[in-house]
Structure 1
């Protein structure tokens, strides 16, 4: 009989160790699965970024194609405009040459006018001499008397003609003077226009050079645009390759996550089976390493029960406060903490008892109360510190009171009927952090109603 109990104890210890290892491995698998899930989320964001990049790159390629089309049109227009401007500048140059030649011709015309004026002066002199000769002839004819009457008539006629010649010469001279003045004014205007034309002609070379520079720049722009368009096409091809690779990687990651989820389900199944074996051995009466912790947990739960029952009888605690499940969210807490009517009594009366029970054995890591929804109204003082703002990781470990936790083992102990339950499980510290330990769960009932559990967690 003793030999059988020894084997059963050894089997119980093995079941406990196996359950603890399953829990530890399941926690590790869960960590890996969480990392894969997080990586998958980042991968999905990366895929979205690649899709956005592809869309933007397609738009950029379209814009580059439009720019190149515009550059080609601009090159064509500038080429045509260049030809038209060159033709227009040629016409302007020829017109300027005509103006310059006109100025030269007008200057010759003024010279001719000046020569005409000179001839008019000579004619005036001849007319004056002729008039003088006619006067002298008239005098001589008067002296000769009737014998020179015919000569006198001729002299008178010559005198008249000389007077007419002088009058005509004076008129011609005046007209030539006016003509010369007008011609000189026109020449001055033509000279100024010709000078401006020469300046404009020198500027046409600058315009031609500027047009040629613009045409060269547009040609370079067209070439650069073509290079940009080619680069865009290359980028699009690489982005598509990257997208295909990410899609394949995402599919593989999803498959791996699904495979790990199956592994975890199997580990959870093994953990559950080993936990039930561990609990069954503990209930068989065989002495194992867990026996003393089961006894301690039951004794401590009885003390807690007695204390609460006494408070209910005395009116210090009401049934409504004890079973209050209207969880009131405490502001600025992360993870969220909740208040209930039972929390003040639990903090003031139960927490000192939890601290004392935890200190009784170095293997015990903590004692706590858990209501039927997973709410911890209080905890040991080390786990009931004031939460720190914006420090979720610290709060998950050191401000666990008033939070809500519910894992598979706690849920099973809450739902099943029994005097106690011995399980291994992972104490969740959030963000993938955990600690595998063993816990004894003792149901707490008040007035025939199941309130929740008393838990003692310990390490072996």
Structure 2
């Protein structure tokens, strides 16, 4: 006996449309996740470029210090050359006129003292130059492959500075020996114990010493020429690195913002992207903060001018700098009720804070409102984040955003060279129709 099978009923147009819509929605959601991952990578690249920019800036400062020191060395070497020439001329005059030898010898002694002072100054500056070059080389090594060329040149500068220092020390040693010879010569002249032949022999020895000093000074000058060439190479390296970094940084910034805007547009279209719960939480918290501030105005707890106070008064002895405003006492009373509650919304939430339109955080989450520890910048940066102005790219964008929401991806500085990668949903805070600032809700990936 055959059993007839009933064919399945064809899907209705409405069901088929629903399937297509669901498939398209899933594609959009996957696209949003992929874009979010791209944004994360772009934020990490941007952060790495920021680190490299700081290194290049330090190298630029080292170059400025190096240029000043090389100028000082050049002046000291010019003084050595002039003083040595004067000493040589004094020897020649004394040999030609033995009657005035006492005065010439005294003049030589004074001139050689100037040479000694100049050589000692070169030694001191050369040591500083070596230290600057050493620090620049260390910073370049931190930059990895991008700083390799700079590191090689910086090492060469350090080596040349060491040679200049050695030449200067040789000059100082030769002058010390020569001064002793001149002192003995002067004593003999004063006693009239030296015969003319002895005087001529003494002058020959003095002249030879002066020539050795002149040769050392000439060698030092040649080394300075090489040192200047290397310094110019360093300057070119820094300039090229700065230009390349600016191009790369601007490109990464545009790429990051494009990724953020794409996710915003997808979320704004009504698609339930992964970030949507955090966006809604930020919007609700912003509305709650705005309502609390409006109630405070109506109840006379604060005036509008005080609520919108933008005169940030520095708190002495704070690092990073902290400031106060006329609305701090009020926000300390009102904001924790909202901000602390949102912290429990998800274990991914890192902080929830209200910033005024200039990025000023009067009242942070309680765990980040620790009193500063004097001299402990790293700890203060991580744990004492209230009463501070965050006017960086992310902080200002969130504070001044007036669209329904804003999504951003960035690295948060935790102090001591430690960073964490975060996403942030921001929503505007309005008080009686006037934009006061933004609610910043940061969460981890």
TM superposition score normalised by structure 1: 0.68
> Could you tell which deviates more after superposition, 5-14 or 210-219?
210-219
Q: How does 1:95-174 map to 2 (within 5 A)?
A: none
Distance 1:351 1:75 in 2: 92
* Residue 222 in structure 1 maps to residue 207 in structure 2: yes
> Could you tell which deviates more after superposition, 392-401 or 268-277?
392-401
CA contact 1:279–1:423 (8 Å) conserved in 2: no
- Where 1:70 maps in the other structure, the secondary structure is helix
* Residue 237 in structure 1 maps to residue 242 in structure 2: no
Corresponding position of 1:333: 318
Alpha carbons of 1:359 and 1:414: their partners in 2 closer, same or farther (altered >3 Å)?
A: closer
Q: How does 1:272-351 map to 2 (within 5 A)?
A: 272-351=257-336
Corresponding position of 2:96: 76
* Residue 16 in structure 1 maps to residue 36 in structure 2: yes
1:368 aligned to which of 336, 353, 363 = 353
1:249 aligned to which of 234, 237, 244 = 234
Distance 1:332 1:379 in 2: 20
> Could you tell which deviates more after superposition, 306-315 or 416-425?
306-315
1:260-286: CA deviation from partner (whole Å, max 9, x where unpaired): 111000000101111101111222222
* Residue 390 in structure 1 maps to residue 375 in structure 2: yes
1:26 aligned to which of 29, 43, 46 = 46
Distance 2:100 2:389 in 1: 81
Alpha carbons of 1:381 and 1:416: their partners in 2 closer, same or farther (altered >3 Å)?
A: closer
Corresponding position of 1:36: 56
Report the Cα offset of residue 303 of structure 1: 2.9
1:145-177: CA deviation from partner (whole Å, max 9, x where unpaired): xxxxxxxxxxxxxxxxxxxxxxxxxxxxxxxxx
> Could you tell which deviates more after superposition, 407-416 or 394-403?
407-416
Report the Cα offset of residue 247 of structure 1: 0.8
Larger radius of gyration: 1
Distance 2:260 2:235 in 1: 36
Corresponding position of 1:445: 430
* Residue 399 in structure 1 maps to residue 384 in structure 2: yes
* Residue 7 in structure 1 maps to residue 27 in structure 2: yes
* Residue 263 in structure 1 maps to residue 248 in structure 2: yes
Report the Cα offset of residue 53 of structure 1: 0.7
**Greater helix content:** 1
Alpha carbons of 1:63 and 1:207: their partners in 2 closer, same or farther (altered >3 Å)?
A: closer
Distance 1:352 1:385 in 2: 18
Corresponding position of 2:71: 51
TM superposition score normalised by structure 2: 0.70
- Where 1:438 maps in the other structure, the secondary structure is strand
Distance 2:235 2:433 in 1: 53
Report the Cα offset of residue 434 of structure 1: 4.0
Alpha carbons of 1:282 and 1:6: their partners in 2 closer, same or farther (altered >3 Å)?
A: same
Equivalenced residues, count: 339
Distance 2:37 2:377 in 1: 32
1:217-259: CA deviation from partner (whole Å, max 9, x where unpaired): 4322221111111111111111111111111221121111111
Q: Which runs of 5+ in 1 are unaligned?
A: 83-202
1:375-402: CA deviation from partner (whole Å, max 9, x where unpaired): 1111112222212333334323222211
Report the Cα offset of residue 334 of structure 1: 2.3
CA contact 1:369–1:453 (8 Å) conserved in 2: yes
Q: Which runs of 5+ in 2 are unaligned?
A: 1-20, 103-187
Alpha carbons of 1:320 and 1:209: their partners in 2 closer, same or farther (altered >3 Å)?
A: closer
Q: How does 1:190-201 map to 2 (within 5 A)?
A: none
Alpha carbons of 1:68 and 1:359: their partners in 2 closer, same or farther (altered >3 Å)?
A: farther
Distance 2:84 2:378 in 1: 50
Corresponding position of 1:90: none
1:101-123: CA deviation from partner (whole Å, max 9, x where unpaired): xxxxxxxxxxxxxxxxxxxxxxx
CA contact 1:78–1:215 (8 Å) conserved in 2: no
Report the Cα offset of residue 212 of structure 1: 5.0
Corresponding position of 1:419: 404
Distance 2:193 2:286 in 1: 104
1:62 aligned to which of 76, 82, 105 = 82
Report the Cα offset of residue 213 of structure 1: 4.9
1:348-376: CA deviation from partner (whole Å, max 9, x where unpaired): 33135423422442211111111111111
* Residue 459 in structure 1 maps to residue 444 in structure 2: yes
CA contact 1:330–1:337 (8 Å) conserved in 2: yes
Corresponding position of 2:393: 408
